[in-house]
Structure 1
Amino acid sequence: MRRRRSLAPWLALVAFLAVPPFVWPHSWLLAYLAQSATMIVFALSYNLLLGETGLLSFGHAAYAGLGALIAAHVFNASGMPLVLLPLVGGLGGALCGVLLGFIATRRAGTAFAMITLGLGELVVAAAWALPDWFGGEAGVAIDRASGARLTGPLAGWSFGPAREAYALIAVWCVVASVAMFALSRTPFMRLANAVRDNPARAAAIGCYPPRVRYGVVVLSAFFAGVAGTLGLINMELVSTESVGMMRSGAVLIATVTGGTAAFFGPVAGAVVLTFFSVIVASVTRAWLFYLGLFFVAVVMAAPDGLAGFGTRHAARIAAHGWRRCRAAYLWSAAAALLGLAAIVLAVQWAYAAQFGADEGAALGALFGASAAVPLLSTLAASPPRLALLLGALAILAGLTMRRAIRAHSSLAAHATCPARLPGDAR
Structure 2
Amino acid sequence: MTDITETIRAEKSRTALSVQAGFLIIGLLLLLLAPFFFYPIFLMKLLCFALFACAFNLLLGYTGLLSFGHATFFGGAAYFTAYTVKAWGVPPELGILIGVAGAALLGLVMGYLAIRRQGIYFAMITLALSQMFFFFCLQAEFTEGEDGIQSVPRGHLFGLIDLNNSTSMYYFVLAVFVIGMLLIWRFIHSPFGMILKSIRENENRAISLGYSVARYKLGAFVMSAALAGLAGALKSLVFQFATLTDVAWQMSGEVILMTLLGGIGTLIGPIFGAGLVVTLQNYLATSEFPVTIITGVVFMICVLIFRRGIVGEFYASWIGRKLGFVYRR
Shared fold per TM-score greater than 0.5: yes
CA positional deviation for 1:317: 9.6
Could you tell me which residue of structure 2 aligns to residue 93 of structure 1?
Answer: 103
SS of the equivalent of 1:238 reads: coil
Could you tell me which residue of structure 2 aligns to residue 211 of structure 1?
Answer: 215
The 3 A distance-change label for structure 1 pair 69 and 316 is: closer
Does the CA-based 8 Å contact 1:255-1:265 persist in structure 2? yes
Does the CA-based 8 Å contact 2:80-2:95 persist in structure 1? no
Could you tell me which residue of structure 1 aligns to residue 86 of structure 2?
Answer: 76
The 3 A distance-change label for structure 1 pair 86 and 167 is: same
CA positional deviation for 1:124: 1.4
The 3 A distance-change label for structure 1 pair 43 and 164 is: same
Does the CA-based 8 Å contact 1:79-1:147 persist in structure 2? no
Aligned residue runs from structure 1 range 322-341, under 5 A: none
Aligned residue runs from structure 1 range 365-376, under 5 A: none
Could you tell me which residue of structure 2 aligns to residue 106 of structure 1?
Answer: 116
Counterpart residue identity of residue 51, structure 1 = G
Q: Deviations over 1:252-303 (max 9, x none)?
A: 0000000012111111111111111112223334222111111111111111
Unaligned runs of 5+ in 1: 320-426
Could you tell me which residue of structure 1 aligns to residue 224 of structure 2?
Answer: 220
Aligned residue runs from structure 1 range 349-368, under 5 A: none
Distance, in Å, in 2 between the alignment partners of 1:160 and 1:138 is 23
Distance, in Å, in 2 between the alignment partners of 1:84 and 1:19 is 28
Does the CA-based 8 Å contact 2:199-2:206 persist in structure 1? yes
CA positional deviation for 1:12: 4.0
CA positional deviation for 1:15: 3.1
1:125 aligns with 2:135: yes
CA radius of gyration, larger in = 1
Does the CA-based 8 Å contact 1:80-1:148 persist in structure 2? no
Decide which of 123, 133, 143 is 1:134's aligned counterpart: 143
Q: Which has the higher contact order (CA 8 A, sep 6+)?
A: 2
Q: Deviations over 1:372-414 (max 9, x none)?
A: xxxxxxxxxxxxxxxxxxxxxxxxxxxxxxxxxxxxxxxxxxx
1:6 aligns with 2:10: no
Could you tell me which residue of structure 1 aligns to residue 153 of structure 2?
Answer: 144
Q: Deviations over 1:175-220 (max 9, x none)?
A: 1111111111111111111111111111111112222111111000
Counterpart residue identity of residue 172, structure 1 = V
Counterpart residue identity of residue 125, structure 1 = F
Distance, in Å, in 2 between the alignment partners of 1:32 and 1:117 is 29
Distance, in Å, in 2 between the alignment partners of 1:187 and 1:241 is 37
Could you tell me which residue of structure 1 aligns to residue 202 of structure 2?
Answer: 198
The 3 A distance-change label for structure 1 pair 149 and 176 is: closer
Q: Deviations over 1:209-245 (max 9, x none)?
A: 2221111110000001000011111110011111001
Distance, in Å, in 2 between the alignment partners of 1:271 and 1:306 is 12
Aligned residue runs from structure 1 range 228-243, under 5 A: 228-243=232-247
Decide which of 171, 183, 186 is 1:179's aligned counterpart: 183
Distance, in Å, in 1 between the alignment partners of 2:98 and 2:183 is 16
Distance, in Å, in 2 between the alignment partners of 1:273 and 1:193 is 27
Could you tell me which residue of structure 1 aligns to residue 12 of structure 2?
Answer: none
Q: Deviations over 1:316-342 (max 9, x none)?
A: 7959xxxxxxxxxxxxxxxxxxxxxxx
Decide which of 42, 46, 50 is 2:56's aligned counterpart: 46
Aligned residue runs from structure 1 range 157-168, under 5 A: 157-168=161-172
CA positional deviation for 1:165: 1.6
Does the CA-based 8 Å contact 1:75-1:147 persist in structure 2? no
Counterpart residue identity of residue 109, structure 1 = G
TM-score, L = length of structure 2: 0.88
Decide which of 160, 168, 174 is 1:170's aligned counterpart: 174
Could you tell me which residue of structure 1 aligns to residue 262 of structure 2?
Answer: 258
Distance, in Å, in 2 between the alignment partners of 1:9 and 1:184 is 20
Moved more, 68-77 or 194-203: 68-77
The 3 A distance-change label for structure 1 pair 285 and 135 is: farther
Does the CA-based 8 Å contact 2:93-2:157 persist in structure 1? no
Does the CA-based 8 Å contact 2:86-2:153 persist in structure 1? no
Does the CA-based 8 Å contact 1:52-1:192 persist in structure 2? yes
CA positional deviation for 1:148: 6.7
1:60 aligns with 2:62: no
1:271 aligns with 2:275: yes
CA positional deviation for 1:91: 1.3
CA positional deviation for 1:87: 2.7
TM-score, L = length of structure 1: 0.69
1:17 aligns with 2:31: yes
SS of the equivalent of 1:58 reads: coil
Q: Which runs of 4+ in 1 moved over 6 A?
A: none
Decide which of 293, 296, 303 is 1:292's aligned counterpart: 296
SS of the equivalent of 1:121 reads: helix
CA positional deviation for 1:41: 0.6
Q: Aligned pairs, how many?
A: 309
